[in-house]
Amino acid sequence: MATVLVRYCEIGLKSAPVRKRFEARLKENVLTMLAYDGVEALVSQAGARMYLETEDPEGAVRAVTRVFGIASVSIAEHSSSVMEDICAAAERYSVGRIRDGASFAVRARREGSHPYTSMDVGREAGSAIFEANKHRGIKVDLTGPDKEFYVEVRDSGAFIFDTYINGPGGLPLGTQGKVIAYTGDDRGVLSAWLMMKRGCRVLVTEDSDLLRKYDPNLRMTDISEDGKRDDVMGCVFGSSAQDDISFSAECRDPAYFPTIGMDDAEVSVRMESLTEGKF
């Protein structure tokens, strides 16, 4: 069973009560997305990390990298925080991951109380990796390596990985109230997505496969019925600076224009990136 190490970003800047509430919502959103994608995983949380134990790590990564609030994820080799175990796990993980004659480096960090420093971890794990692969003519290069390995030691566990996979970042969906978004074109869809990234639950005027990927519970709205709902905090428009902006009497103030500073080319590029799952 593989471990997927999940990191979040802005939540860590909040006060303790707010952070606890946002972490709980983030976990709920992760579980919802895993269920939507049909991925089975055991989800736990400690410190500033979430851990997914699963038989389908690639599927778990595809799911959680669509959850707002997630900064990055890594599929990792897990070991205890004992130095000998870290080195053994690093050795196993490295086999087959360095090409012949390549250079490598180990980047280590730790949190908690341990009888060694991060520099010690980098040196010892690097030595273990070198010994396991020296027959391939590899070498150490700490400034410009061909391959980087990362070791995170957190309290009683350690995680070895070689890739950071970006998530959308932002705040957990549902932590900042509801807005209505006019989603009749790409600019409107991108505007809605940007509000979702800021934690807003979005009611859309037209269905969107892209937005539904990021919110399985996405709801369409009838403006005439929902525009004046007490729980709606405003309306989102996909407008540019060149547009003649007018406001609908059916929609609640205030109005938001997340893409007003973007030209059409930037909107097109960002929509293409989101379609490909890039941020």
Q: What is the pLDDT of residue 242?
A: 72
What fold, for 2-78?
Answer: Alpha-Beta Plaits (3.30.70)
Give me the mean pLDDT over the 225-230 stretch. 63
- How is domain 82-155 classified at the architecture level of CATH? 2-Layer Sandwich (3.30)
In this prediction, residues 174-190 reach a mean pLDDT of 93
Tracing tokens 């939540």 back to the chain, one arrives at 11
- Confidence class for position 228, pLDDT limits 50, 70, 90: low
Residues of the chain with CATH 3.30.2130.30: 82-155
* Mean pLDDT computed over every residue of the chain: 92
The segment(s) of the chain belonging to CATH 3.40.50.620 are: 178-275
**Among 30-44, 80-94, 237-251, the least confident range:** 237-251
Residue 227 has a pLDDT of 54
CATH domain 178-275 topology? Rossmann fold (3.40.50)
Confidence at residue 221, expressed as pLDDT on a 0 to 100 scale: 86
| Overall average pLDDT of the 82-98 stretch | 96
- pLDDT for residue 244: 60
Tell me the per-residue pLDDT of 239-274, one tens digit each, with 9 for 90 and over: 876 766 665 555 667 889 999 999 999 999 999 999
Within the chain, all domains assigned CATH 3.30.70.1510 are found at: 2-78
Q: Lowest-pLDDT range, 14-18, 21-25, 32-36, 186-190? A: 14-18
